[in-house]
Amino acid sequence: MSEPATPKADRAEENPDDPPADGAERDMSAEPSDEQPDDGADRAPVTTGAQSVVRALENAGVETAFGVQGGAIMPVYDALYDADVRHVTMAHEQGAAHAADAYGVVKGEPGVCLATSGPGATNLVTGIADANMDSDAVLALTGQVPSHMVGSDAFQETDTMGVTTPITKHNYFAGDADTVGDTVGEALSLAGAGRPGPTLVDLPKDTTLGETEREPGEGRLPDTYSPADEADEADVEAAARAFEAAERPVLLLGGGVVKGNACEAAREFAVEHGVPVVTTMPAIGAFPEDHDLSLSWAGMHGTGYANMAITHTDLLVAVGTRFDDRLTGGVDTFAPEAEVVHADIDPAEISKNVYADYPLVGDAGTVFEQLSEAVGSSPDTAAWREQCATWKDEYPMDYATPDDEPLKPQFVVEALDAATADDTIVTTGVGQHQMWAAQYWTYTSPRTWVSSHGLGTMGYGLPAAIGARLAADDDQQVVCVDGDGSFLMTLQELSVAVREELDITVAVLNNEYIGMVRQWQDAFFEGRRMAAGYDWCPQFDKLAEAFGAKGWTVDDYDEVADAVEEALAYDGPSVIDFHVDPGANVYPMVPSGGANGKFALTEDQL
Amino acid sequence: MSGDSEEPTDNGDLPKQGLKGPRPEERPHPEGRRNSHGVRIDPEVEAEPRKRSAVISALVENEPGVLSRVSGLFSRRQFNIESLTVGPTTVDGHARITLVVEETDAGIDQVKKQLAKLKPAIAVGELGNDAVRAELVLLKVRGDEPDKVHAITQMYEGQTLDAGPRTITVQITGDQQKIDDAVDAFRQFGIIEIARTGQTALARGDTPTTPDEDPGHEAAANSSATEQQTTPQTTPTTDDD
Ligand SMILES: Cc1ncc(C[n+]2csc(CCOP(=O)(O)OP(=O)(O)O)c2C)c(N)n1
Ligand SMILES: [Mg+2]
């Protein structure tokens, strides 16, 4: 009972009339469309649920969707044949979800992915969970067996609702062709509203094939959903008084500041009042890292100075962060002397992990406006800024590059940063390379750092680069800093980058290990490197060429600049396999549950 | 972050692996501490927060799967739940879920907020100590001593639902304490089976059970009244139109 092999096609939409996946579905399969594609200029009236689904996407201005065909979703794909939506066929549904996620991050609007029922839907799961953890707006559309067969263990049936309820902001089972378009519109609106997140609409085949003339309306938010915009005035006043009186304030920017398009407001506030700024990892780029007030990002592998500052602050103004444990370390020692002003659009994040003395429930941009209004005089931060500057000197991120040791990965990241424009988008896998990409690249604008934070999904980098590429401005460069292990998990998506002629540079920091695991084994498991060696990876440059991309291998410092230059100049997907020091470790490091102020700078300090 | 060097730098005072800077023990460390809820405390004085029992009422849209969303939320977030009851209200498409949870104050706050985040949730509130609460229990005991069973049932203002030669099944309603006492009292006969509904509750008097809750009885009463007036003589009402 396997899917038929489909002929290699340049674009999936040229290929809509593949035979149905399986004989068992023959009765429900869509008739191949006789109509000519009318390039969407004049929109034909909706006649089926599937067309209503696609119309809802068009109404919302969705330009791009990522997915993989299959039996239960075929009616929707058939409707896409005539639609104004660019569909990008991915090699794997996980890739579709990550691409949609990154597309959304870069564009600032929900990304859309599609998959068939059963394995298609389950393959999306990692990407949906990733989006959920990082509050990324994604709409997933999944095919489902016809509703009369739901619950019968039908071919390719999975309880997609059950599987995805814990990892979506909300999910919908669309049981009615007349309303399915409205449901899709609502799901799309909900994904992007308030605290963003993934939503899913499960589409049984009888709904999408079902007849309807109902045009979906504009996507509306559910009546029960109304996130606050403005924070309570009294709370704002109280927070403002605390801020004015602070001696060692820190502005902690979280991912919500980027999602709320509040980076400009945050910067004005910080500069106006002379407050040192620390970001969380998801907020990298929210504040220019080359600014005097920037202490870069805090947490497990954050800079020493950021971790010192959040440890010694007496007033933490935290906006749009959920105080993840990779940021806080042990809560007992987190900002232990600080009163906390916590602004977030999701009231459930207030006092969830760290108690908020001044809770401000509202939109990040609005709250900054309110705070700016309410704050009368700037706190006197001269001495505190001096202290932060001293920490910057005391804990530099400089690393050694001894001649007798292999190429240092940090050097590669810096070389890539130096060779690219300021607005270059960086995507990553998960592991040491991700941390170096975060530490040694200087980010100056929001939505240029695209990574998997909360879930920590190896394999995110390449499909994310594809999504980012399609969302970015044409003149923006896209670099995927990947690990050998992470790259191996989703590198089949190179075929998509080649097919779509996407200008992406993949820089593999190949240490022949799943290095982050190896680092922990050396530090906490007596160096017993169980299942951590990855010297069995294929030659990535050759593999790239086999896919039709361009490939390079770099072993030495003096080869780095040329390879980077050539790869960036190449107009298409390219892969540079940097053979870097297998022994390099990521520092600073706060061990899990440890005190941020006790970050280790070398292994013996762990 | 450390400048855009094109060439490797040979920086003599850097460690071969890792970074330079004062060691952890050479740095200043603040004295303060937070408890497990992230509240700043004096660890010498303050104990960890204690759990208490709370009754939480959630008015929800009665859509398919709403109960599994609620129960899934509780297991996923490790909220301690003692009981959960659910039933429709008089407003079409609404249901009320009553939950008894055992959590710290911060935990109860989280329960409420996480419940309120569920899309079908219309309103969520915690009931005060004066709330009207009730639970129902069915007890099946051995029928050897019917008179005694009857006496105890009366004592607890219960009802006998089934009496046979071998078993007697009674129903008791009341607050949790009363039910607990009754169950204890029936133990002497040998309890064969027991089924408890868990507590359900409403706020006392004029207080709405969940904040801003619309008085459903009026809406329902009005609409059913008009329905009855406009469709006077129709035989058995059906819902399928
Ligand atoms: C899908 C997935 N599986 C396993 C892990 C656990 N894990 C975290 S980091 C890491 C190492 C990643 O190796 P690589 O991509 O080579 O990056 P490096 O650390 O070597 O730079 C692993 C296995 C994960 N985060 N994600
Ligand atoms: Mg590696």
- Cα distances (angstroms) measured from residue A485 to each of A306, A464, A552, B175: 29, 16, 18, 59
**Between B220 and A291, where is the model more confident?**
A291
Q: HSE on the CB side for A206, CA within 13 Å? A: 10
Phi and psi based region of residue A401 (left: phi greater than 0; alpha: psi -120 to 50; beta: remaining): beta
Asked if A598 lies within 8 A of B24 by C-beta distance, the reply is yes
A155 is catalytic: yes
Helices (H) and strands (E) in chain B, counts: 5, 11
Q: HSE on the CB side for A253, CA within 13 Å? A: 35
The CA radius of gyration of chain B, in Å to the nearest whole number, is: 29
**Between A100 and B230, where is the model more confident?**
A100
Per-residue pLDDT at B217: 52
Q: How far apart are CA A53 and CA B136, in angstroms?
A: 47
The answer to whether the CB of A68 falls within 8 A of the CB of A223 is: no
Per-residue pLDDT at B10: 53
Output the pTM of the full model.
Answer: 0.91
Q: How many CB atoms lie within 10 A of CB B65?
A: 15
Residue A598 exposed, middle or buried by CB count within 10 Å (0-12, 13-18, 19+): buried
CA neighbor of A160 nearest in space, from A93, A211, A81, A210? A93
Per-residue pLDDT at A154: 96
Model confidence at B235: pLDDT above 50: no
Task: Enumerate domains of chain B plus CATH numbers.
Answer: 52-126 (3.30.70.260), 132-200 (3.30.70.1150)
**pLDDT-based confidence at residue B214 (cuts at 50, 70, 90):** confident
Beta bridge partners of A319: A253, A343
Per-residue pLDDT at B8: 56
Residues of chain B numbered 56-85 and touching chain A (CB < 8 Å): 61, 64-65, 68-69, 72, 76
Token pair in block for residue A101: 């996620």
| Contact residues on chain B for A601, CB-CB shorter than 8 A | 15, 18-21, 23
Name the residue type at position B90. T
How would CATH label the architecture of A233-394? 3-Layer(aba) Sandwich (3.40)
Per-residue pLDDT at B49: 86
Q: How does DSSP classify residue A506?
A: E
Token pair in block for residue A47: 């006649």
Tens digit of pLDDT for each residue in B91-104?
999 999 999 999 99
Asked if A348 lies within 8 A of B61 by C-beta distance, the reply is no
What is the CATH number assigned to the segment(s) A409-587? 3.40.50.970
| Contact residues on chain A for B34, CB-CB shorter than 8 A | 331-334, 336, 354-355
Per-residue pLDDT at B9: 53
> Residue A485: CB within 6 Å of ligand 1?
yes
Length of chain B: 241
Residues of chain A numbered 285-304 and touching chain B (CB < 8 Å): 289, 296, 303-304
Token pair in block for residue A374: 């309410």
- A284 contact partners, CB below 8 Å, separation of at least 6: A297, A438, A443, A449, A451
Per-residue pLDDT at A30: 39
Q: Which of the residues in chain A have pLDDT under 50?
A: 1-40
What is the CA(A512)–ligand 2 centre distance, in A? 5
**pLDDT-based confidence at residue B11 (cuts at 50, 70, 90):** low
Model confidence at B223: pLDDT above 90: no
Where do we find the tokens 């292990």?
A485
What does pLDDT average to over chain B? Answer: 87
CATH 3.40.50.1220 domain range(s) in chain A: 233-394
Residue A67: strand, helix, or coil: strand
| Contact residues on chain A for B36, CB-CB shorter than 8 A | 331-332
Residue A115: strand, helix, or coil: strand
Q: What is the dihedral of CA A363, A366, A370, A375, to 10 degrees?
A: 90
Q: How far apart are CA B210 and CA B59, in angstroms?
A: 7
What is the CA(A53)–ligand 2 centre distance, in A? 42
What is the CA(A513)–ligand 2 centre distance, in A? 4
Rounded to an integer, the average pLDDT of B22-43 is 93
CA neighbor of A224 nearest in space, from A196, A251, A186? A186
What single string gives the DSSP state of each residue in B80-105?
-EEEEEEEE-SSTTEEEEEEEEEE-H
Per-residue pLDDT at A17: 37
Model confidence at B4: pLDDT above 80: no
Kindly report the backbone phi and psi dihedral angles of residue A570, in degrees, each rounded to the nearest multiple of 5, phi listed first: -65, 125
Q: HSE on the CB side for A451, CA within 13 Å? A: 29
CATH 3.40.50.970 domain range(s) in chain A: 9-209, 409-587
Given 2.130.10.10, 3.40.50.970, 3.30.70.2660, 3.40.50.920, which CATH number is that of A9-209? Answer: 3.40.50.970
> Residue A518: CB within 6 Å of ligand 1?
no
The answer to whether the CB of A507 falls within 8 A of the CB of A552 is: no
Rounded to an integer, the average pLDDT of B205-217 is 83
Tens digit of pLDDT for each residue in B48-77?
789 999 999 999 999 999 999 999 999 999
